Amino acid sequence: MITTLYRSIRLLLSAPPVSSILGVTLFSGNLLYRHLTYNDEIVTVKNKYVYTKVYGDFLIGSTQSFNFVSDNGKIYNIPNSIIEFQFDSEDKWAILQEGCTYKVSYWGIRHPFLGLYPRIYHIIQLK
């Protein structure tokens, strides 16, 4: 009994931690998703808005999502990203002007059930 327990503990300690394997899997899956869904597109901003999601009380927790709608009806999200070290979503959103045309680089797909939008990470205004 004790020998079996000792072997089980040794086997568990000699194997890589499950959290490391899970972390590597999620990170590599995220990179693959980005690579497969990457796209550049020229869009004209039809409308822009901030979506605020409140969890319980507003003081307890809320998140803001900076979005815009293109002339073809596609919704884009301009997020902050820890992985890409980009924390300027508000600034990118603020420079957008309705009726102006931009070249945007994005990754991701629109999935209504999961609440996914294409994520903009680079914006260039066209003249």
Q: What is the CATH number of the domain that holds 60?
A: 2.40.50
Range of the domain at 12: 2-34
Domain count, the chain: 2
Residues 52 and 29 in one domain: no
At 102, is the pLDDT very low, low, confident or very high (cuts 50, 70, 90)? very high
Same domain assignment for residues 14 and 43 = no
Higher model confidence: residue 30 or residue 15? 30
Q: What is the spatial distance between Cα 25 and Cα 122, in angstroms, rounded to a whole number?
A: 26
- Please determine, for residue 17, whether its predicted confidence score (pLDDT) is greater than 70: no
pLDDT tens digits, 35-72? 899 999 999 999 999 988 777 665 666 778 899 999 99
48 and 87 inside one domain: yes
| 69-83 pLDDT, tens digit each | 999 999 999 998 877
- Same domain for 23 and 66? no
101 and 69 fall within a common domain: yes
pLDDT mean across residues, the chain: 82
Q: Are residues 69 and 10 in the same domain?
A: no
The conformation of residue 116, written as its DSSP 8-state character, comes to: B
Q: What is the pTM of this model?
A: 0.74
User: Are 30 and 45 found together in one domain?
Assistant: no
